[in-house]
């Protein structure tokens, strides 16, 4: 069994197209792609991204930013949602409303956006009081995986590709972000998340005799065109992040 996991597209339609082409070139069909949420929010092409995603009918879980788009009033949105919302149709928003918090893919993988029961907390990483993003303590990672029976667990949210193996052999994989390689956040303290490359990130999971293997794929696309689009839309952190995978 072999399938692909994508996450954190954030309205970057060009990156999504490049990743979908790479997945197809790897011989993986659309029905064998799962999407871990945060699909549309950001200053890029939310509407075009939705036009690509909705008909694909991927197994998709809802990200915190997907939730913000359907929970908050139009005039009361964080800037990532405010930028996206104006491009979205009623059909796009109805699709977001159908997305579940979590899902199980073919009895082998548990899917959620961030961690079980909470779409806003980093699972595999943690922020130190000084604002550094580091590998989370193993005991906390394991505690949040309690009760999940699938051998493979997939999450997104941090935009950083990472795999953590649990003591019982289960594997948690974050495929990284398709469309937003760097951002900053004020909570729990100010911190930056920087992938260090502008390439579009996703993962291929394959069952082997020895267990699940993970291939992280970093796909080039015209990221500078998206950086320029963010600049025209007045979002300097996106302009820098899309250009380099760093914020400065
Ligand atoms: Fe995200």
pLDDT, tens digit (0-9, with 9 covering 90-100), for 214-247: 999 999 999 999 999 999 999 999 999 999 999 9
Instruction: Please tell me the distance between residue 29's alpha carbon and the centre of ligand 1 in angstroms.
Output: 24
Mean pLDDT of all residues belonging to the chain: 97
At 188, is the pLDDT very low, low, confident or very high (cuts 50, 70, 90)? very high
Instruction: Please tell me the distance between residue 122's alpha carbon and the centre of ligand 1 in angstroms.
Output: 11
Domains and CATH numbers, the chain: 2-244 (3.60.21.10)
Count of all residues that appear for the chain in the document: 248
Instruction: Please tell me the distance between residue 209's alpha carbon and the centre of ligand 1 in angstroms.
Output: 33
Say which DSSP state 110 is in.
Answer: E
Give the pLDDT confidence score for residue 144 in this predicted structure: 98
Give the pLDDT confidence score for residue 73 in this predicted structure: 84
Average pLDDT estimate for 95-122 = 98
Residue 183 near residue 242 (C-beta atoms within 8 A): no
Residue 235 near residue 43 (C-beta atoms within 8 A): yes
Instruction: Please tell me the distance between residue 65's alpha carbon and the centre of ligand 1 in angstroms.
Output: 7
- Taking the CA atoms of 133, 135, 137 and 143 in sequence, report the sign of the dihedral they define: positive
Residue 67 reports pLDDT greater than 90? yes
**Percent of the chain whose pLDDT exceeds 70:** 100
Residue 248 reports pLDDT greater than 90? no
At 92, is the pLDDT very low, low, confident or very high (cuts 50, 70, 90)? very high
Give the pLDDT confidence score for residue 62 in this predicted structure: 98
């Amino acid at each position: 069994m072999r399938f692909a996991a994508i996450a954190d597209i954030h309205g970057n339609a060009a990156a999504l197209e490049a990743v979908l082409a790479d997945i197809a070139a790897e011989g993986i069909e659309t029905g064998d792609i799962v999407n871990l949420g945060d699909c549309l929010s950001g200053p890029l092409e939310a509407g075009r991204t939705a036009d690509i995603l909705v008909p694909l009918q991927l197994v998709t879980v809802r990200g915190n930013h997907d939730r913000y788009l359907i929970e908050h009033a139009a005039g009361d949105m964080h800037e990532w949602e405010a930028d996206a919302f104006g491009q979205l149709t009623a059909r796009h928003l109805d699709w977001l409303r159908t997305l579940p918090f979590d899902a199980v893919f073919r009895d082998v993988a548990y899917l959620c956006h961030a961690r079980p029961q909470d779409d806003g907390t980093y699972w595999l990483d943690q922020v130190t009081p000084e604002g550094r993003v580091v590998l989370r303590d193993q005991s906390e990672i394991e505690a949040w995986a309690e009760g999940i029976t699938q051998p493979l667990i997939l999450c997104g949210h941090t935009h950083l590709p990472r795999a953590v193996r649990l003591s019982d052999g289960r594997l948690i994989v974050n495929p990284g972000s398709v469309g937003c390689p760097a951002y900053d956040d004020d909570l729990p303290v100010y911190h930056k998340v920087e992938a260090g490359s502008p390439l579009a990130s996703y993962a291929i999971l394959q069952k082997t005799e020895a267990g699940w293997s993970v291939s992280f794929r970093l796909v080039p696309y015209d990221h500078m065109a998206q950086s320029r689009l963010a600049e025209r839309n007045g979002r300097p952190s996106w302009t820098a992040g899309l250009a380099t995978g760093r914020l400065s």
